Structure 1
Amino acid sequence: MQKWIITLGLSVAVAACTREAGYEADQGAFGNATLNNIQVMNGELTYAQILGQRFAAEVPTQINFAFNSAQLDETAQRVLLRQAAWIKQFPEARFRVYGHTDAVGSTAYNKSLGQRRANAAVAFLTRQGISRSRLEAAVSFGKSRPLIDTPNRDRRNRRTVTEVSGFDDRNPLVLDGKYALIVYREYVGSAQYESQLRRQTAIGDTSKQQ
């Protein structure tokens, strides 16, 4: 029995030794920075694309609208507040807002409606202190790029999407070519702002329930 236990222990030890170093610590992100550097040097990936990926991973990029409306409801405003907090971290970056509609109505009308929705999102972001010069001209795709392929009303298609579009060439960091610093830096102040924003949202939801 004792010999069997010793043999089992040795087997477990050998199996553990055959795992790749860092196996337990690596949750899938290990090596991403190196991969990104290689892709940038090869021309496969730009710093704007990397920052765009980070934006999409850290905040919701999309808001939705009621049928035939460009009004921002409370949910849309909360999302745009989170976008504004993130955008303020990167004064060197430019952003673009795309407007979309569902398939109900004419192409021309939906083109106009998508533009109004994009304009509404841009106007809200500028009221949060984002310079209008950093929010590139809003673009409307109308009903030409639906998320859900249906001729009927669908809220998921009635949306705007905010994306990173590039960098402000006049910014000192951009002039110095310090794109990596822009993409990977972190702000303590922004984290505090985000935390405060969550608390305000929670307080508002609680007061509504009462």
Structure 2
Amino acid sequence: MRKPITLLTVSAVMGLSACTGDFHREAGASIDEGGFGNPTMNNHLVHTGQRNQIINLSRQFAAEVPSTVNFAFNRAELDESARTALRQQAAWIQQYPYVRFRVYGHTDKVGSDSYNRSLGLRRARTVVNYLVSQGISRSRLEAVVSFGETQPLIVTEGRERRNRRTVTEVSGFLKGRPQRLDGKYALFQYEEYITSATEPHDTVIIDENAGQTEER
């Protein structure tokens, strides 16, 4: 006599089949995305409209000032060209007092992964310290992530100066920032509206009598 399949058995099979893709991964890896609370924060930024502002400010920052500085091999000290670039970054950052920034540290592929992560983080902290010396509040700057050797600009196993770098990016807004726009933010938003309005697009004219459409 065949035994009936219980609801518990069916549920267990369905559960195992749903989890097969994550079976060999850490618990929560499918939702963490690299940092606790990141998905929730991303949803908040999207729904409040801040995500687009952050993206647009990031593009403007990268277009108007050098966002990258480079380093000598196995060093975290700033040379004169790096200090010049960072002074330009600081002047730009001072124009947006409610915006936060993150500095990412990178290395070339020479050396162990753990050493390079430590070196990349030291480079990021060096940049943050210099920006602070230029009058930027430390509360607006983060040097918490180091990509080490994992994101090279030039794929090579040897020494490559362009891979030994830090990159400064807009990361968000300070908590409790005023919701009203000051003059600088208003100008930024106005420029965005003008740009979007002047982008080429198709105009469709509907002729109700003929029942056809014409594109111009």
TM range (shorter): 0.5 to 0.7
Deviations 1:59-113 (A, max 9, x none): 0000000000001000000000000000000001000000000000000000000
Cα contact 1:101–1:142 (8 A) shared by 2: yes
Displacement of 1:139: 1.5
- Give secondary structure in 2 for the equivalent of 1:46: helix
Higher helix fraction (1 or 2): 1
What amino acid maps onto 1:103 in structure 2?
K
Cα contact 2:73–2:159 (8 A) shared by 1: yes
Deviations 1:20-41 (A, max 9, x none): xxxxxxxxxxxxxxxxxxxx99
The alignment status of 1:125 with 2:131, answered yes or no, reads: yes
What amino acid maps onto 2:151 in structure 1?
R
Counterpart-to-counterpart distance in 1, 2:177 and 2:55: 18
Give the structure 2 partner of residue 161 of structure 1: 167
Give the structure 1 partner of residue 56 of structure 2: 50
Cα contact 2:104–2:143 (8 A) shared by 1: no
The alignment status of 1:182 with 2:188, answered yes or no, reads: no
2:141 is aligned, of 132, 135, 148, to: 135
2:102 is aligned, of 93, 96, 104, to: 96
Call closer, same or farther: CA 1:103–1:79 in 2, change over 3 Å.
same
Cα contact 1:102–1:154 (8 A) shared by 2: yes
**Relative contact order, CA 8 A, sep 6+: which one is greater?**
1
What amino acid maps onto 2:124 in structure 1?
A
Call closer, same or farther: CA 1:86–1:157 in 2, change over 3 Å.
same
- Aligned structure 1 segments of 4 or more residues deviating by more than 6 angstroms: none
**Number of paired residues?**
143
Give the structure 2 partner of residue 81 of structure 1: 87
Cα contact 1:96–1:163 (8 A) shared by 2: yes
CA RMSD of aligned residues (A): 2.4
Cα contact 2:121–2:143 (8 A) shared by 1: no
Q: How high is the sequence identity, in percent, across the aligned residues? A: 57
Greater C-alpha radius of gyration: 2
Give the structure 2 partner of residue 71 of structure 1: 77
The two structures have a TM-score, normalised by structure 1, of: 0.63
What amino acid maps onto 1:184 in structure 2?
L
The answer for unaligned runs of 5 or more in structure 2 is 1-45, 190-216
Cα contact 1:64–1:160 (8 A) shared by 2: yes
The two structures have a TM-score, normalised by structure 2, of: 0.62
Counterpart-to-counterpart distance in 1, 2:110 and 2:143: 25
Give the structure 1 partner of residue 111 of structure 2: 105
